[in-house]
Structure 1
Amino acid sequence: MAKTQLNVRVDAATARAARERALERGMSVNRYIEELVRQDAGETGQSFVEAAADFMRQYESVFAEEFGAEREGRR
């Protein structure tokens, strides 16, 4: 895959944290940030789906009570 250069400006504390985290993981800062972005891009959709499923589990009885009979053609 072709690489594109991306320049960003961050404060000194953020730069230091990125360097430290990358070093702890044994990778370059570039790779560390690349992985963070990939994770964020992939997890956003998954997090939404999980949150929606959790919401439906929590309120399933409310929805069933409100819309169940109508869905079954009883109203």
Structure 2
Amino acid sequence: MPKTQLNVRVDEATAEAARQRALQRGMSVNRYIEELVKQDAGEVGHTFVEAAADFMKQYESVFAEEFGPEREGPRHEGPRREGTR
């Protein structure tokens, strides 16, 4: 995908925070800002959910074998607390 230049103005504290966060993550400030926008737009989360759904389809039989047929399907009861069933 071709890149487009985007100029923004922020105060020095915000600019320094962006530089430091990018450095901590081992990426450029441009890449850091790009990742933040993608996360905010939901693109990263959507990709993760699609990959997780694909994984579950591929390994559904393995999970059913390991955890029993009562755990098959889209049923979700929420997180379990210790000491409960």
Partner of 2:13: 13
TM-score (norm 2): 0.50
Structure 1 segments unaligned to the other structure (5+ residues): 47-75
TM-score (norm 1): 0.56
Q: Structure 1: how far apart are the matches of 2:42 and 2:3?
A: 19
User: How big is the alpha-carbon RMSD for the aligned residues of Structure 1 and Structure 2?
Assistant: 1.4
Matched to 1:26, the amino acid is: G
Q: How many residues in Structure 1 have an aligned counterpart in Structure 2? A: 44
Structure 2 segments unaligned to the other structure (5+ residues): 47-85
| Structure 1 residue ranges, 4+ long, deviating more than 4 angstroms after superposition | none
Q: Percent identity?
A: 84
Question: Which of the pair has more CA radius of gyration?
Answer: 1
Greater RCO between the two (CA within 8 Å, min separation 6)?
Answer: 1
